[in-house]
Structure 1
Amino acid sequence: MDLFVAGFITVMETFMWSLTCMAKFPHVQEKVQKELDDNLEGRFPTVDDRPHTPYTDATILEIFRFSSLTPFSLPHAIAYDSVFEGNRVSKLERGRIKNKKKEK
C-alpha cells in the first residue's frame, strides 16, 4: 500500500507542478498546445510521437528538472570502511568534503 501511495503522490505532485508552470508561462503553454495540435490530429499522444514533438518533450523534461520532487532525500555515503572488488573504500567523516572555491 505504501508503494501505491508514494507513486500516487509523486504523479500528483508532478501534475501540480506542470499546471503551475503552464499557468506561470502561458507562452510555453501556447507553443506546446500548437505543437500537439499540429502533430496529433485530435488523438491522444503516444511514445511514438516524441520525435515529432521536441518542444513538448523538452518542456516535460524541464518541468521534471525544475520541480525536483525529492529535495529532502538522504545523501548516499559509505557507512563503514569496506573492500569492493579488491578496492578499499573508506568511510568519509562528516565535514571532510570541502568546497574548493577560494574564499575572498
Structure 2
Amino acid sequence: MNLQIENLGDIVVIGLREERLDAHNSTDLKSQMLNLLETGHTHLVVDLQDVRFVDSSGLGALVSGFKNATARNGALKLSSLQPQVQSMFELTRLHRVFEIFPNIDLAAASFQG
C-alpha cells in the first residue's frame, strides 16, 4: 500500500495514495495505524483525497483505527473525502461516527480546540 506519513507537531497525517481502500490493502492501513498508536501517536488524520472507492474492509480498517485511538484517549479524523467516498460514509451512517474535514489543515486544527 502506498502510504505517505507526515508529522505536523503531535499530529500524524496518513495519506493514502491509492484509488481504492479495499480488502487488498486495508490490512496494511490498519497495521500502520495500530503501529503509530502503539508508539504514542494518538492524534491521527487519514487523508483520503486520492481514494475513489472504499469497501467494507476499508471501512472496517478505519473503524478499527478509530476505536484503537479512542481507547488510548486519542482521536482519528478523516479529511478530503471524494464525493463517492463521502456517499459511502453517509450510506453506512459512519459520517456520524467520524469527524470529517474538507482538508488536512482543518482536521489538524481541530485537535487544538
**TM-score (norm: length of structure 1):** 0.24
Give the structure with the larger helix fraction.
Answer: 1
Structure with max Cα Rg: 1
Give the structure with the larger strand fraction.
Answer: 2
**TM-score (norm: length of structure 2):** 0.23
Question: RCO (CA 8 Å, sep 6+): is it higher in 1 or 2?
Answer: 2
